[in-house]
Amino acid sequence: MLYQSTRGGWRPVSAAEAIKQGLAPDGGLYVPEEQVVFSPAEWERLLGMEYPELAFTVLKRLLTDFTSEEVRQCVSRAYNPDTFDSPAVTPLVHLKGNEYILELWHGPTAAFKDLALQILPHLLTTSLVKTGEKDEIVILVATSGDTGTAALDGFHDVAGTRIVVFYPEQGVSEVQKRQMITQVGGNVAVISVQGNFDDAQSGVKAIFGNQPFNQSLAERNKKLSSANSINWGRLAPQIVYYISAYSQLLKQRGTRFGEPVNVVVPTGNFGNILAAYYAQRMGLPLRRLICAANANNVLTDFIRTGVYDRNREFFKTISPSMDILISSNLERLLFEVTGRDHRQIRSWMGALVEKGVYQVDGETREKIRAGFWSDSADDKQTRDTIRDTYRECGYLLDTHTAVGRFVYQRYLEATGDDIPTVIASTASPFKFCSSVTEALFPEEPAGQDEFHLLRLLAERCGLSIPRGLQGLENREILHQAGTTPDGMRAAVGKVLGL
């Protein structure tokens, strides 16, 4: 099976080539040419599998140019007791009634990005060998916090690769920042950008699109690639945990085989929820994909009205990994629901770049509305949800997951559709401990050191600090470089010695 670009300006390529390139040369995103669907008998087998076997089976069907041995090796290196501190990898926890929490934060950096970024380096290095690549691959990452930490953990000291991470100076938590600037590895660079996440992401996209710069890299046997969720190698592994969630729900007798469930996903770049959409297309019985947004609710408006308008105020919220106004992966959804209409995608994406806004036709809008539902939570609603959930259920949510649960409650009120529902929990509460502490213990003075708050939260809630966040304040600071959005290309040049 080959992969085609959503914009139709490039020939279809193998999975290995798609993973190596990240973004297609015409600016589009790679999607599988065929729709993979598992038969009922296959579903029965899939739903009985442990996580690594499930990951192997799903990825083997998607990455058809990889041998079984190659996929198996990538999977076993990514999902094992050294990387994930739960045997289920993504355990499903019963909250109350028909509500379940899918904990996606048991990996090394305590956020869901680990599920994809622990395996992507292995998929990529395998792809380099398979495609006979001789150049060094330079991974450029723009991060709202979690991608950067997870990509650095996944890629450090991976042979044949360099990684350069840009993070918005004011847009990440102290814990996230410390995770990044203390990252060891001979092939890593971490650079702060004076701007927000969209500035960093646009800067990275501009570097990808800069022909002379790419040419001069090529002359030095280097090639750019991406670890952002535009890379198919990141999206594919995320499909697995939705299947795992359903399988765990069956085991906990939360549903019966074939019965539908809803999924709630705290959304930013639309990668995580898109993985749920692909799982649904493979035949997983998901009814509604509920897209939870924070005050940057461009997706909520889009799902309701069919108008995508990024010309609006940008808010810094307490769920910073969702502070995004340009959701790149939406392009893949639009491609699928328009029946793969390249021309239409080019025109909408062109309008987004030129005017910051586009409107889809009525048919596309209705198709999206049939499958998705969306609402948003502001910071107060987020904090209230953290507090109320802790009081009611004794379960501690992080700020992003709290946005998800708040929006789910809105969904219940609006629709009465109370079938079993899986809320994707995208980060450990410890990763955003100052906001979580503020929500739970408002009497605590503001402005306390985040590392102190980690311990406070652990003690007061009787939880242990995730492995990857322990001892963070004692690690040596190794990266202090900073730049402006306009200086990003030069910064990459400097790192690479151009």
End-to-end CA distance of the chain: 38
User: Nearer Cβ to ligand PLP, position 47 or 89?
Assistant: 89
Tokens linked to 427? 């980060």
**Closest approach of ligand PLP to the CB of residue 436, in Å:** 12
Query: Does 113 participate in catalysis according to the annotation?
Result: yes
Q: Does the protein bind ligand PLP through residue 232 (CB under 6 A)?
A: no
Q: Does the protein bind ligand PLP through residue 426 (CB under 6 A)?
A: yes
Find the binder of ligand PLP among 22, 32, 254, 271 (CB under 6 A): 271
Q: Which of 120, 124, 214 is nearest to 160 (CA)?
A: 124
Q: Does the protein bind ligand PLP through residue 268 (CB under 6 A)?
A: yes
Q: From residue 312 to residue 331, what is the string marking binding to ligand PLP with x (rule CB under 6 A)?
A: ---------xx---------
Find the binder of ligand PLP among 267, 374, 376, 483 (CB under 6 A): 267
Q: Does the protein bind ligand PLP through residue 254 (CB under 6 A)?
A: no
Find the binder of ligand PLP among 58, 71, 334, 427 (CB under 6 A): 427
Q: Which of residues 79-138 bind ligand PLP (CB under 6 A)?
A: 111, 113
Q: Which of residues 8-27 bind ligand PLP (CB under 6 A)?
A: none
Distance separating alpha carbons of residues 70 and 87, to the nearest angstrom: 23
Q: Which of residues 375-404 bind ligand PLP (CB under 6 A)?
A: 400
**Closest approach of ligand PLP to the CB of residue 76, in Å:** 25
Q: Does the protein bind ligand PLP through residue 272 (CB under 6 A)?
A: yes
Classify strands 357-359 and 372-376 as parallel, antiparallel or unpaired.
unpaired
Of 15-23, 264-272, 387-395, 474-482: span binding ligand PLP (CB under 6 A):
264-272
Q: Does the protein bind ligand PLP through residue 168 (CB under 6 A)?
A: no
**Closest approach of ligand PLP to the CB of residue 265, in Å:** 7
**Closest approach of ligand PLP to the CB of residue 398, in Å:** 7
Q: From residue 142 to residue 161, what is the string marking binding to ligand PLP with x (rule CB under 6 A)?
A: ----x---------------
**Closest approach of ligand PLP to the CB of residue 304, in Å:** 18
User: Nearer Cβ to ligand PLP, position 162 or 431?
Assistant: 431
**Closest approach of ligand PLP to the CB of residue 319, in Å:** 7
Q: Does the protein bind ligand PLP through residue 229 (CB under 6 A)?
A: yes
User: Nearer Cβ to ligand PLP, position 2 or 93?
Assistant: 93
Contact in structure between 424 and 404 (CB atoms under 8 Å): yes
User: Nearer Cβ to ligand PLP, position 146 or 199?
Assistant: 146
Q: Which among 20, 60, 113, 494 is annotated as catalytic?
A: 113
Contact in structure between 130 and 118 (CB atoms under 8 Å): no
CA 369 from centroid of its chain's CA atoms:
22
What b/e string do you get for 195-220 counting C-beta neighbours within 10 Å, with b at 16 or more? bbbbbbbbbbbebbeeeebbeebeee
Distance separating alpha carbons of residues 312 and 7, to the nearest angstrom: 26
**Closest approach of ligand PLP to the CB of residue 373, in Å:** 16
Beta bridge partners of 94: 100
**Closest approach of ligand PLP to the CB of residue 1, in Å:** 24
User: Nearer Cβ to ligand PLP, position 178 or 400?
Assistant: 400
Q: Virtual CA dihedral for 21, 23, 29, 33, nearest 10 degrees?
A: -10
**Contacting positions for ligand PLP (CB under 6 A):** 111, 113, 146, 229, 266-272, 321-322, 400, 426-427
**Could you list the active site residues?**
113
